[in-house]
Structure 1
Amino acid sequence: MPRPLPGLPTRQQVLDFIAASDQPAGKREIARAFGLKGNEKIALKALLKDMADEGLIDSAPGRAFHKMGGVPRVTVLRVTSVDDGQLWAMPESWHADSPPPKIRVIERGRRSALALGDRILARTEEAGQGHVAHVMKKLQRSADLLLGVVRKEDERYFLTPVDKRERRELQISDLKDARVGDLVLAEPSGRPPRVTARVDAILGDPFAPRSFSLIAIHKHGLRDGFREDALAEAAKVATLPLGEREDLTRLPIVAIDPEDARDHDDAIWASPRDDGDGWDAIVAIADVSFYVRPGSALDKEARARGNSVYFPDRVVPMLPHELSSGICSLKAGEPRAALACHLHVGKDGALKSWRFARAKICVAANIAYEDAQAAIDGVPGRVDPDLVESALRPLWACWAALLAARNKREPLELDLPERRVVLDEKGRIASVAPRERLDAHKLVEDYMIAANVAAARALERKKAPVMYRVHEGPGREKLVTLKDYLATFDLEFALGQVVRPATFNRIIERVGADHPARPEIMEQVLRTQMQARYSPDTLGHFGLALGAYAHFTSPIRRYADLLVHRALVAAYRLGEGGLPPEDAERFDEIGELISGLERRAMEAERETIDRYVAAFLADRVGQVVRCRITGVQPFGFFATVLDLGGDGLVPASILGNEYFRYDEKAQALVGEESGETFAMGQQLDLRLAEAIPASGALRFELPEGKFAAPRRERRDRVHRPNKRGRPSNIRHDGRRKR
């Protein structure tokens, strides 16, 4: 499910608020609870519409929302009866106390196409005293299956769904060989309200790591398998001869990737220029457009997926393994087809010129980031010494110039660590820890950015269509919210200034590297930013401080990059596989599609990591763990376990007997009598009450008999001495200002 824009609540947070609210919760109440203003209210309206369409919430008279209960505007129906040739259907999922409605199905030329028991995705609308459904598509049987865990009660077996949104349990009518505790796919059968489930497939232990990604694949409708025609086409095109290409096989091009990389689609090379004017560099990218032609079965699959989805135990690829892990993966010692971006990098790191060519390369080595960094740092034995001198040192020398240009440009620098789940040889969780950030990572990133900029500029000069990677600057409403928030730390933020990425960098610098509030301030700065997306419009990339930016470097795993490759092939007349005019005319539509698919992939990946974290913490239930508050609302606060992640809600109702006032500017809950404060960024001890791996849900409670933190000690403000030499947050009597 697409993740909402920064600043908006997630779908789960909206559902939690509606459930916890002691008054009718309409759009106005939800906006007030989450502190939304201006354009964010417009975005909230769209989010609530999506949630209603998905059947998560329903609007009652008076515009209050509640969980489920109505007929969503777009929903899944099952054909239940035929009356004088008229088909009737009922909602597949129904959670209201009232009986499910009987809906008339409008087929529009689909006579005899539907039968009893068929499931359809339909658009519904009110008509007279009831509803009618317009068929959008007939669903495959695989989409009919529910994912859940088998449990037993009073000699009966029930299916407990893993989706946190799904509240009902179904009695299992056919258990097959499943046992209590097994994760299964089950097919609903019967008519509401007497719907039961028949086990279709047994997936095994829901605590097993492999199950966590299966849950995400099923929940988000990811295409885990390829159609036979696409697989046959992949096998065929993988044998294509490389043809006439620029021969770069003599160069010591290297691919520097994560140690656990599933595919290798980029390789780099650099060398000082003979004229002393900087460096020549090559960013060689797998020539996917040579193998995946517009309109082919492979192309249709790739566009429907939008991108590869990466889980700790597997990858759901955009392209079949014959391509993504085979002929399009740049492996050492194997001749490969590449689209090469030739760069002239000046001494100051500026891109002085570029050209693109279809090339043949032979990667000298696949090197892990850690090994490349160790070799540059002088650690012997990690990389062949000859390769260190011929390949790595020139790359680092050229990168020094690219880095200087980057520093001059001053892009947004947010040091927010990425969680990495490490599995052992049996697929069990060995550790969950932040991923280390090395200079080797930054080096590869800056070469990729340079190639992406060159691709965008090259297409602009050719007046060819560009699928830009767009990141717009933050709107005024979010800046006002940030100003109010920073004021609680005595940090000034002027609204009248021209806001650049460096503006936010200066804020973080003023906080200081060791300040306990630094992570929360960086997260708040992140929430202030817009979400990046794909578009044919030249809107620039705010975060990178670039005017023109496209994605060129990962066509194995991103459809946007494949479109840019095709545009370059057509613009430079590099042979077959160029961008057809009909696709160029649909760039707006395609950009929206792949942006949505990207958000879906991000949500699936994030949820899977949450499930791993919940499994990792499952044997610590009942223990007190160190947490950090990541969000505060009038109804409670969200907290995450330090260094691990995994969010859980602590409702305001369990914080004590006194009333807790919500301070919107400070993003804090403050006890009216005691002054006890729970604020964003605060570190505190919480008792882990529950960890559910199948859903990734955590539940926290306050340690028994204790407040979670000393009175008002959570916020060490960022201060400068005043005129009397005293820190500005200390009063004349030596006490801390409130």
Structure 2
Amino acid sequence: MDKTFEKRKKVVHDLICDDLYTPMKFKELAVLLQVAKEDRDALRMILEELEEEGKIYLSKRGKYCKGEAKKLRGRYRANQRGFGFVVVEDDPDDTFIAEENAGGALDGDVVEFTIIRSPQGRSKEGKITKVLEHELKTVVGLYHKRKGKSYGFVLPDNLKILKDIFVPAEKDKSALDGQKVVVKLTSYGDDRHKPEGEITEVLGYANEPGTDILSIAKGYNLPTEFPEKVLNQAERVAKPVSEADRVGRKDLRNWQMVTIDGEDAKDLDDAVSLVKEGENYILGVHIADVTNYVQENSALDREALKRGTSVYLADRVIPMLPQTLSNGICSLNAGEDRLALSCIMTVSPKGVVIDHEITETVIHVDRRMSYTSVNKILTEEDEEECRKYEELVPMFRQMETLSGILRAHRKQRGAIDFDFPEAKVILDEKGRPVEIRAYERNVATKLIEDFMLLANETVAEDYYWQELPFVYRVHEAPDEEKMQALALFINNFGYSMHLGVNEIRPKEIQKLLGKVEGTPEEPMISRLALRSMKQAKYTPENAGHFGLAASYYTHFTSPIRRYPDLQIHRIIKDNLRGRMTPEKRAHYEAILEEVTKQSSEMERRAEEAERETVKLKKTEYMEKHSGEYFDGVVSGITKWGVYVELENTIEGLVHVVNMTDDHYEYYEERHEMVGMHTGKTYKLGQRVRICVLDTDRFLRTIDFKFAREGEKQDG
């Protein structure tokens, strides 16, 4: 070690740590220490070393202070490239953590960290000093048995876990080389040692039907089986509706009503009815009374809260409640008496709810309709469908009219409608994707959406003004900085947004989406607008719903598959039955914070797992189309390449290394990729023809190349 450097370091340290010293910025320190301009890099190195040693720290104002930096607490989010970020609650800015400063932390760990750099105008950089709590308890991966050795390794599916996991022979559960396994971590390792674990479950070989999706489910810790106690309880409570059950309920069994769902839906938790009285519409939204069968704090209830939501993966559903309930007595099956909680609304010709009633009911659904059938009746006027459901056609016509009125009313107040095509994945009996297409919304899906939205708003407003403990679905206004960035971005395309001082109105985003509709840049701008928004969440405090431009919103309509809906049904029934005592209010106030937090977290987990299974099946589908040609649209441009989306919603990347006809440069301000010699340009929304170059099922990525003139293009 350079003795001169160490001496200088001691002088700097003693000066900064002197009790008489006032914190100073770098330039002030340099002047005080009489450091010449050419020697200031050496001073920077000294200060950096003292920071890393924790002897000094840099304040938020850029001044060097004595003592150790303030110890902070947050959750570490790793990146597959080695670095990561620490997320601190209520701090909008994440702290960057370089790979060498991760301190052995794994993705999801609760950590203690310090800020080591906080450059003005740039993101903070930190160093993890201690792992306080490990989130990862189990890991899913591919088992490799070492030949002739008494041990093996698990290569994690989660790319954010950069080390493989050592498994001794006595803890391998007889797993074979090449099988997917679940491994329980017994040691988390450190900078010199790999994590260790024991295999708790063998899922099967990677290429066996269903193993891929099961691996994703296990990777997200999704519970794939119900405990026996929960199943037994479901069997006991799933009794047919009796006379005793009907007591005290409004009898709506003679009302004309239907369920309208997808053809493959089995858990039917909402039915609708509609009649006209004079110029007004009487709309009934009737929701399965799941709380009649799932009592608070029962084994069923605790399991439902733990799961938070049903999860819809590509080849299976992982339900929140056992199928005895979800597909049985709680499902509003046609031709059977069912218990319900109904929101009956009187809607004016302008789409305003002028009266409503929320009440316990007994209902009897007339027909189980599909979106396809209702769409055929309303859009195609299909003779066969109209004849088959002759007695219901007048009601469907009225529903279509009311749906249009409600949609226009929402649009008028500024509600935002992001109409992205979702992917519909069709699998064969072995779980292999045979078709992937865009799932189109039609008149039937829209009318059900409109009726559910109205019921959710009506219930939320009612209980807000009653000032009772409740669960709201909240979507906060976006951050001003993100909106300013979006406004700057769209200026490149000739669009503008009016952003008020400290106020962002949803109507401005709605107007923007209207302007870009049908343009080549529509997908890109719509996605950027969506990414600029905050995520919706559940909370006991009402803060309105920005995206819907609604002052009050909740989730009331799906208690079979969402726990928050089940929770508010319980509150509503206690209120209707006169059981909302001060003690009961205090009870709900005490539990709702944790219930909403758990529900929001489980919703995020489900969304991520669902997204991963679709990505996997898209990659698998394109494997058998390698070398084939497709038409697509440029959906994104970055410095590393051009993203192209096909008509079936599959997106792939044309990497710059595969753009071999020229040297291409990325112009960020114009969002273009331009060939330096040919002048050839790729722009957002441009129609292109591509060839499928390669797929990687492990990384879930698809590589394209642009088709050249003269190449075979009839794939």
TM class by shorter chain equals: 0.7 to 0.9
Match of 2:447, SS state, is helix
Deviations 1:130-157 (A, max 9, x none): 98876789x9xxx545332669999998
Distance 1:389 1:463 in 2: 41
Deviations 1:150-184 (A, max 9, x none): 69999998754433334555688768887775544
Residue 594 of structure 1 corresponds to 599
Match of 1:570, SS state, is helix
Query: Does the CA contact (< 8 Å) of 1:223 and 1:305 recur in 2?
Result: yes
Residue number among 434, 437, 446 corresponding to 1:433 in the alignment: 437
Q: CA deviation at 1:442?
A: 0.8
2:507 maps to 1:502: yes
Mapping for residues 205-244 of structure 1, pairs under 5 Å: 206-207=206-207, 210-239=210-239, 241=242, 242-244=245-247
Mapping for residues 626-637 of structure 1, pairs under 5 Å: 626=631, 628-634=633-639, 636-637=640-641
Distance 1:185 1:704 in 2: 46
Match of 1:271, SS state, is strand
Distance 1:180 1:622 in 2: 32
More displaced 10-residue stretch of structure 1: 472-481 or 180-189: 180-189
Q: CA deviation at 1:648?
A: 5.3
Residue number among 465, 485, 489 corresponding to 1:481 in the alignment: 485
Residue number among 56, 66, 76 corresponding to 1:50 in the alignment: 76
2:566 maps to 1:556: no
Match of 2:159, SS state, is coil
Query: Does the CA contact (< 8 Å) of 1:147 and 1:218 recur in 2?
Result: no
2:166 maps to 1:162: no
- Say what the alpha-carbon RMSD is for the aligned residues: 4.1
Distance 1:200 1:590 in 2: 30
Q: Which of the pair has the greater relative contact order for Cα pairs under 8 Å at 6+ separation?
A: 1
Deviations 1:297-327 (A, max 9, x none): 2222122211111012111111121211111
Distance change >3 Å, CA 164–CA 48, structure 1 → 2: farther
Distance change >3 Å, CA 691–CA 180, structure 1 → 2: farther
Q: CA deviation at 1:521?
A: 2.1
Distance 1:235 1:161 in 2: 38
Query: Does the CA contact (< 8 Å) of 1:74 and 1:123 recur in 2?
Result: no
Q: CA deviation at 1:607?
A: 0.6
Residue number among 313, 335, 338 corresponding to 2:315 in the alignment: 313
Residue number among 564, 570, 573 corresponding to 1:566 in the alignment: 570
Q: CA deviation at 1:482?
A: 1.6
Q: CA deviation at 1:453?
A: 0.9
Match of 1:530, SS state, is coil
Query: Does the CA contact (< 8 Å) of 1:75 and 1:123 recur in 2?
Result: no
Distance 2:611 2:700 in 1: 10
Match of 1:338, SS state, is strand
Q: CA deviation at 1:591?
A: 2.4
More displaced 10-residue stretch of structure 1: 607-616 or 339-348: 339-348
Match of 1:585, SS state, is helix
Q: CA deviation at 1:540?
A: 1.4
Residue 586 of structure 2 corresponds to 581
Distance 2:73 2:207 in 1: 32
Residue 84 of structure 1 corresponds to none
Distance 1:496 1:397 in 2: 35
Residue 360 of structure 2 corresponds to 358
Distance 2:557 2:496 in 1: 39
Q: CA deviation at 1:426?
A: 4.6
Match of 2:624, SS state, is helix
Residue number among 256, 262, 272 corresponding to 1:258 in the alignment: 262
Match of 2:391, SS state, is helix
Distance 2:672 2:148 in 1: 46
Letter aligned with residue 372 of structure 2: E
Match of 1:223, SS state, is coil
Query: Does the CA contact (< 8 Å) of 2:470 and 2:540 recur in 1?
Result: yes
Match of 1:329, SS state, is coil
Residue 381 of structure 2 corresponds to 378
Distance 1:618 1:484 in 2: 39
Distance 1:615 1:483 in 2: 38
Residue number among 467, 492, 506 corresponding to 2:471 in the alignment: 467
Distance 1:318 1:508 in 2: 36
More displaced 10-residue stretch of structure 1: 546-555 or 180-189: 180-189
Residue 146 of structure 1 corresponds to 140
Distance 1:363 1:307 in 2: 25
Mapping for residues 89-128 of structure 1, pairs under 5 Å: none
Query: Does the CA contact (< 8 Å) of 2:112 and 2:129 recur in 1?
Result: yes
Query: Does the CA contact (< 8 Å) of 1:271 and 1:395 recur in 2?
Result: no
Mapping for residues 46-85 of structure 1, pairs under 5 Å: 49-52=75-78, 57=83, 65-67=97-99, 70-72=102-104
Residue 279 of structure 1 corresponds to 281
Query: Does the CA contact (< 8 Å) of 1:252 and 1:363 recur in 2?
Result: yes
Match of 1:387, SS state, is coil
Query: Does the CA contact (< 8 Å) of 1:610 and 1:645 recur in 2?
Result: no
More displaced 10-residue stretch of structure 1: 48-57 or 251-260: 48-57
Query: Does the CA contact (< 8 Å) of 1:255 and 1:264 recur in 2?
Result: yes
Distance change >3 Å, CA 630–CA 197, structure 1 → 2: farther
Distance 1:147 1:68 in 2: 25
Distance change >3 Å, CA 204–CA 56, structure 1 → 2: same
Name the TM-score, length of structure 1 as normaliser: 0.71
Distance change >3 Å, CA 150–CA 691, structure 1 → 2: farther
Letter aligned with residue 482 of structure 1: L
Distance change >3 Å, CA 402–CA 319, structure 1 → 2: same
Match of 1:51, SS state, is strand
Structure 2 portions without partners, runs of 5+: 1-71, 87-94, 115-127
Residue 614 of structure 1 corresponds to 619
Q: Which of structures 1 and 2 has the bigger CA Rg?
A: 2
Deviations 1:193-244 (A, max 9, x none): 5778887655445345623321221111112222233222222222375241
Match of 2:225, SS state, is coil
Distance change >3 Å, CA 75–CA 523, structure 1 → 2: closer
Distance change >3 Å, CA 665–CA 597, structure 1 → 2: farther
More displaced 10-residue stretch of structure 1: 501-510 or 539-548: 501-510
Residue 332 of structure 2 corresponds to 330
More displaced 10-residue stretch of structure 1: 443-452 or 404-413: 404-413
More displaced 10-residue stretch of structure 1: 440-449 or 50-59: 50-59
Q: CA deviation at 1:256?
A: 0.2
2:290 maps to 1:267: no
Letter aligned with residue 221 of structure 2: G
Distance change >3 Å, CA 152–CA 654, structure 1 → 2: farther
Q: CA deviation at 1:371?
A: 0.6
Distance 2:147 2:709 in 1: 35
Structure 1 portions without partners, runs of 5+: 1-45, 77-120, 708-738
Deviations 1:605-653 (A, max 9, x none): 001000110110112335555555544455x246254134455566656
- Identity level (%): 29
Distance 1:592 1:683 in 2: 44
Distance change >3 Å, CA 267–CA 590, structure 1 → 2: same
More displaced 10-residue stretch of structure 1: 381-390 or 425-434: 381-390
Residue 692 of structure 1 corresponds to 696
Q: CA deviation at 1:430?
A: 2.2
* Matched positions, count: 605
More displaced 10-residue stretch of structure 1: 653-662 or 483-492: 653-662
Query: Does the CA contact (< 8 Å) of 1:266 and 1:286 recur in 2?
Result: yes
2:532 maps to 1:528: yes
Deviations 1:42-73 (A, max 9, x none): xxxx999431599974689xx87445884456
Letter aligned with residue 535 of structure 1: T
Q: CA deviation at 1:251?
A: 1.3
Distance 1:194 1:546 in 2: 51
Residue 118 of structure 2 corresponds to none
Match of 1:419, SS state, is strand
Residue 458 of structure 1 corresponds to 462
Letter aligned with residue 611 of structure 1: L
